[in-house]
Amino acid sequence: MIDKSGLVWYFEKETVPSKHGFVHFSLMIPTIVFAGPPCGGKETLQRILLSQFMIDKPIGVGDLCRREEDEQSDLWKAASAHMSKTRSTLWPDELIAQLLGNVIETSLRESTALVFDGFPRSRRQISLFTGVAKSHGLTNVLLVHIHAKDSACIERAEKRKRPDDVRIVERLAEYNSETVPAIEQLLGMNSILPVQYLRFDGNQPKQQALEKGAKFCRTIGELLELVPRPVMAL
């Protein structure tokens, strides 16, 4: 269940369960999952977070797949063969898991936290995400849910006029039917993957959202003990 008060604790901060017993919270790399509707302010909140803390750019599955296609990698060739055979537009789960595993291994060596952009976004991807997270020891997970009304998202799409925004109504319908139930499902899997939850109001005017977003991201940093970016001397 999603607590509309804005903050849900699913376990004590000091310890979390693992297959090896209880492990101290601060010893595990934080994993942040951003979820929210298109044009809901997710990108803005991520930029603020990355400007405040030592975190690499968010991991977006769509971007990763497009990069593999551009590079004509072995993974892309395998995915392409599967999609041609099955007449599907989706990569098979096992190849997505391998793709995410490769990126996570690199990020674990180079970053102090992982950020997933809009993944998992459907019920089908929940088991994929939990499997990848558990296999890489990502048990310190925070779900950041940006809540915004459809009307606010449509108004922003009409103003910024990006190519994909012409499908805003369709994309919002997909989000409401696919991603919202997935969020509920992920939060209900506490026995499999403990998840903390924070909710941000994406209906605010731009300047107010920037100000509150900065404070909100500092709360994330304190909650997960993120490493702040050094302040450059003038």
The pLDDT tens digits of the residues spanning 120-159 come to 988 888 988 998 888 888 888 999 999 999 999 999 999 9
Number of domains in the chain: 1
| Dihedral, 184, 48, 56, 89 alpha carbons, nearest 10 | 50
Residue 71 lies in a domain: no
Higher pLDDT, 2 or 61: 61
93 in a structural domain? no
First-residue to last-residue Cα distance in the chain: 47
pTM: 0.81
User: pLDDT tens digit string along 50-98?
Assistant: 999 998 889 988 889 989 999 999 999 999 999 889 887 778 888 888 8
Give dist(CA 76, CA 126) in Å, integer. Answer: 22
Is position 185 within any domain?
Answer: yes
Going by C-alpha positions, the residue among 15, 6, 1, 19 that lies closest to residue 192 is 19
Q: Is residue 117 domain-resident? A: yes
For 4, phi and psi rounded to 5 degrees?
-75, -5
Do the bridges between strand 141-147 and strand 195-201 make them parallel or antiparallel, or are there none, so unpaired? parallel
Question: Could you list the residue range(s) of the whole structural domain that residue 219 is in?
Answer: 7-64+113-224
Residue 178 lies inside a defined structural domain of this protein: yes
Q: What is the CATH number of the domain that holds 41?
A: 3.40.50.300
